[in-house]
Amino acid sequence: QGLGCSSAFLIMSDPHSILQKQKFSWQQTMLRIKDPSKSLSFYRDVMGMTLIDKLQFPDMKFDLYFLSTLPAHEKYELEPGSDDAHRYLWTMKGTTLELTHNYGTESDASFKYHPGNQEKDGFGHVAFNCNDVYESSAKLEAAGISFKKKPDEGRMKGLAFVFDPDGYWVELVKRSTAAKFDNEFNLSQTMLRIKDPKKSIPFYQALGMTLCREVHMSDFSLYFLACLPEGTQAPDPKSEEASEFVKSLFCPVLELTHNHGTEGDETFAHFSGNEADRKGFGHIGFLVEDVQAACEALEALGSSFVKRPLDGTMKGLAFAKDPDGYWIEVIKRGGYDDKATPFWREATPAA
């Protein structure tokens, strides 16, 4: 087990070129959940996601569930929790929802996570695209799903927001008619609010994301970034084609929302979702070739860290902070052993 690139090598190299060599791919958005049986029923059985893998940590009293939208024709036959599923998870090109369950929350009637969307909250929602928002909304309503906003309500017609079992907002967006896939729903967005796009956009571009679309209104702007499949070219992000391009993607986009004026307020900061009284959304994560090299390059570009690769009990993975303080997990693609485990634990010395 080891961590690759040395600091001396990094000092002699351009941090951006080091990051480019890491082949960053957006692999997860993490949400904390109260009851996995309810959350799996919603995301798997209602929204059509596939449970890719399950990781259990009984000694630390939590489990992780990874779900992804797979192409409708693709049959997933691996058993979640198996070595084959682990290898698939830590080498996949798609993006998952990582649902984190801390033991005991499901039996505590008073317990709830913070779903975001209160004052200064950073996390906004996840989203799914569908062919017909009205038709899909009717199906969800018939299935007993609660709505924040139905398609005909409010000023923005034709889009909807439902609540997942923890109260997280889930947006329904009409996909482009140019989309060539058969899923009723595909995971299409994670939305985060940002303070200063001049800092956030370059940060995520350095992680291999492409700015695919930007929209500017009188009091806010939206920026849509994605880790595009190899060979896919985005149009001019300010063009009319950009909207349809984003809505035609099978992979999700990171929607960054900037409320104008926050960038000039030195005292303003968004909550990251990891504060004691705001826990809900946790982080987004990227697979890389070399965790240590990636972290050293990020540090050279000014990033700070929640956890460096050799900190803590889980060695070999890291958590950096983006310009707003959101946690960015950095994970080794393919892991460190034949099971693709993306961390290792130091052996406890014999007594």
- Reported as a single tens digit per residue, the pLDDT across 233-243 is 999 999 999 99
Classify residue 12 by its DSSP letter.
T
Please determine, for residue 6, whether its predicted confidence score (pLDDT) is greater than 70.
Answer: no
Measured distance CA(51)–CA(66) in Å, rounded: 6
What is the per-residue pLDDT for 348? 61
Please determine, for residue 10, whether its predicted confidence score (pLDDT) is greater than 80.
Answer: no
Residue 296 · residue 6 · CB < 8 Å = no
Measured distance CA(2)–CA(106) in Å, rounded: 38
Please determine, for residue 21, whether its predicted confidence score (pLDDT) is greater than 80.
Answer: yes
**Marked catalytic residue, from 79, 141, 171, 266:** 171
Please determine, for residue 350, whether its predicted confidence score (pLDDT) is greater than 60.
Answer: no
Measured distance CA(270)–CA(323) in Å, rounded: 10
What is the per-residue pLDDT for 261? 98
Please state the rounded mean pLDDT for residues 135-155. Answer: 96
What is the per-residue pLDDT for 349? 58
Of the ranges 12-16, 126-130, 143-147, 275-279, which one carries the lowest mean pLDDT score? 12-16
Widest Cα–Cα separation across the chain:
68
This prediction has a pTM of 0.95
Of the ranges 55-59, 98-102, 176-180, which one carries the lowest mean pLDDT score? 176-180
Please state the rounded mean pLDDT for residues 106-116. Answer: 97
Measured distance CA(244)–CA(27) in Å, rounded: 24
Q: How confident is the model at residue 155 (pLDDT cuts 50, 70, 90)?
A: confident
Measured distance CA(274)–CA(283) in Å, rounded: 9
What is the per-residue pLDDT for 180? 87
Q: How confident is the model at residue 8 (pLDDT cuts 50, 70, 90)?
A: very low
Residue 232 · residue 284 · CB < 8 Å = no
Please state the rounded mean pLDDT for residues 329-350. Answer: 90
Please determine, for residue 1, whether its predicted confidence score (pLDDT) is greater than 70.
Answer: no
Measured distance CA(239)–CA(241) in Å, rounded: 5
Please state the rounded mean pLDDT for residues 142-149. Answer: 97
What is the per-residue pLDDT for 115? 97
Please state the rounded mean pLDDT for residues 58-85. Answer: 97
**How many Å is the Cα radius of gyration of the chain?**
20
| 74 has catalytic annotation | no
For residue 28, give both structure tokens.
């997860």
Please determine, for residue 2, whether its predicted confidence score (pLDDT) is greater than 90.
Answer: no
Among 2-6, 315-319, 342-346, which range has the highest average pLDDT?
Answer: 315-319
Q: How confident is the model at residue 330 (pLDDT cuts 50, 70, 90)?
A: very high
Please state the rounded mean pLDDT for residues 205-222. Answer: 98
Task: Say what percent of the chain tops pLDDT 90.
Answer: 93
Residue 61 · residue 105 · CB < 8 Å = no
What is the per-residue pLDDT for 346? 82
Nearest to 54 by CA among 72, 74, 71, 36: 36
Of the ranges 3-17, 119-133, 157-171, 298-312, which one carries the lowest mean pLDDT score? 3-17
Residue with tokens 């303080």: 325
- Beta-carbon contacts of residue 344 (< 8 Å; ≥ 6 apart): 1, 314, 315, 316, 336, 337
Measured distance CA(323)–CA(304) in Å, rounded: 9
Which stretches of the chain are assigned E, i.e. beta strand? 25-33, 50-57, 62-68, 96-102, 123-130, 147-149, 160-163, 169-174, 186-194, 210-216, 220-226, 253-259, 281-288, 305-307, 318-321, 327-332
What is the per-residue pLDDT for 154? 87
Of the ranges 9-13, 147-151, 165-169, 212-216, which one carries the lowest mean pLDDT score? 9-13
DSSP string, 72-123: TTPPP-PPTTSHHHHHHHTT-SS-EEEEEEETTGGG-TT-----S-STTB-E
What are the CA-CA distances from residue 132 to residues 137, 151, 185 (Å)?
Answer: 8, 10, 10
Residue 38 · residue 99 · CB < 8 Å = no
> Across the chain, what does the average pLDDT equal?
95
